Amino acid sequence: MNTYMEPATGPAECAACGWKGDAIDVECAIADFGDRVAPGEICPAGECPECGALAHLIEKPDPAPELLAALKALRTELRAHVKLDVKRHYSLMVADAAAGTAIAKAEA
């Protein structure tokens, strides 16, 4: 008997074969759901389009809002200092770039 999962979108992957793609491409009908998914286990998005194993949505970690705000504040500070003396504060420029990358990643 098949169990039909609510169609989902977003990044998904199959732990069995390594397939990665969009959840829209997984097979929403899961055969023998009760035998394959234990109670309390993370609910699969569906069956892997490549191998038929269970595919799951990839959970995007929630960026900690306080941490992000602190990072932005730090970056503002860094920028102010870098402006004063670019040559002397090369390492601050590097730190600024690193903070910028982290912020962009968290907000993606």
Residues of this chain, 52-81, that bind Zn ion according to CB under 5 A: 53
Instruction: Pick between residue 14 and residue 78 the one whose CB is nearest to Zn ion.
Output: 14
**What HEC string does 37-69 produce?**
CCCCCCCCCEECCCCCCEEEECCCCCCCHHHHH
Of 31-39, 51-59, 75-83, 84-92, the segment contacting Zn ion by CB under 5 A is 51-59
Report helix, strand and coil shares of the chain as percent, to nearest 5: 40, 20, 40
Of 12-41, binders to Zn ion (CB under 5 A) are 14, 16-17, 19
For residue 45, state whether it binds Zn ion (rule: CB under 5 A): no
